[in-house]
A = this chain, B = another copy of it.
Amino acid sequence: MLDRIPTGGPPYLYDLVSDYPSRIGKGLRPALCLATCGALGGNQREVLNSAVAVELFHNAFLIHDDIQDESLSRRGADTLYRQHGVGIAVNIGNATNLLALQCILGNRSMLGPQASWLIVQETESMMRQSLEGQAIELGWIRDNVCDLRPRDYLEMCLKKTSWYSFIYPLRIGATVAEGVQSPNRFCRFGWYLGAAFQIQDDILNLIGKYRKYGKEIGGDLREGKRTLILIHLFNKCSAKEGRSLRGILAKPGSERTSSELEWMYDRIVQYECIEFAKRAARQLAGAAFLEALTAFRGTPDSEYKRFILETALFVISRDR
Segment among A30-38, A126-134, A195-203, A237-245 that sits at the interface with chain B:
A126-134
- Verify A142–B88 contact, CB threshold 8 A: yes
User: How many angstroms from the CA of A91 to the CA of B138 in the assembled complex?
Assistant: 9
Q: Which of A82-112 contact B (CB under 8 A)?
A: 84-88, 90-91, 93-95, 97-98, 101-102, 105, 108
- Verify B67–A90 contact, CB threshold 8 A: yes
- Verify B102–A124 contact, CB threshold 8 A: yes
Q: How large is the interface on A (under 10, 10 to 19, 20 to 34, 35 or more residues)?
A: 35 or more
- Verify A127–B98 contact, CB threshold 8 A: yes
Does more than half of chain A's interface fall in helix, strand or loop, or is it mixed? helix
Query: Does A139 belong to the interface (CB within 8 Å)?
Result: yes
Q: Which residue of B lies closest to A85 (CB)?
A: B142
Query: Does A28 belong to the interface (CB within 8 Å)?
Result: no
Q: Which residue of B lies closest to A13 (CB)?
A: B135
Q: Which of A135-171 contact B (CB under 8 A)?
A: 135-136, 138-139, 142-143
Query: Does A113 belong to the interface (CB within 8 Å)?
Result: yes
A60 to chain B, nearest CB (A): 9
A10 to chain B, nearest CB (A): 5
Among B67, B113, B117, B131, point to the contact of A86 (Cβ < 8 A): B67
- Verify A9–B98 contact, CB threshold 8 A: no
Residues of B within 8 A of A64 (CB): 90-91, 94
Q: List 11 A-B contacts (CB under 8 A).
A: A10-B139, A12-B138, A12-B142, A64-B90, A68-B90, A90-B90, A90-B93, A91-B135, A95-B135, A98-B124, A98-B128
Q: Which residues of A contact B (CB under 8 A)?
A: 9-13, 64, 67-70, 84-88, 90-91, 93-95, 97-98, 101-102, 105, 108, 113, 117, 120-121, 124, 127-128, 131-132, 134-136, 138-139, 142-143
